[in-house]
Amino acid sequence: MTERIHSPLPQKAIVTVSDTDLSDTDRGSGVTALRWRLQGVVSEGACLVVIDVSEVDQISSTLLAALLDTHRVCRRRGGGVVIRHASRKLSDVLRRSGLDRVFEVEAA
């Protein structure tokens, strides 16, 4: 008789981000709050994080760093980060920077 070990389905978290979330009145506090939010999601066990950027017009290097940190943790667990509803402008930035090969990017 063969014994099968069933692993639980990978945990998936969906995080919606808007320009309002990223606005910073205290030098980057919006992105810092998002970074903490993403760290909380992965510390709860998520290995696939879907970032809905449908309400984001532009992406900062600080936000990209936060997404890359999240991606590294998720990759170690066999998952990754999906950037969902990326505008044409955002998709172009990710393509030009080569990050479209790091993240799975779903266009709007």
Residue-wise pLDDT for 5-31, tens only, equals 445 555 899 999 888 877 765 555 788
Phi-psi region of 27 (alpha: psi -120 to 50; beta: other; left: phi over 0): left
Look at residue 8 in the predicted model and tell me its pLDDT: 56
Query: Which amino acid appears at position 40 of this protein?
Result: G
- Show the domains of the chain with their CATH numbers: 12-107 (3.30.750.24)
∠ CA 11-39-73, nearest 5°, is 65
Does 57 or 104 have the greater pLDDT score?
Answer: 104
Residues 6+ apart with CB under 8 A from 71: 80, 81, 102, 103
End-to-end alpha carbon distance in the chain: 49
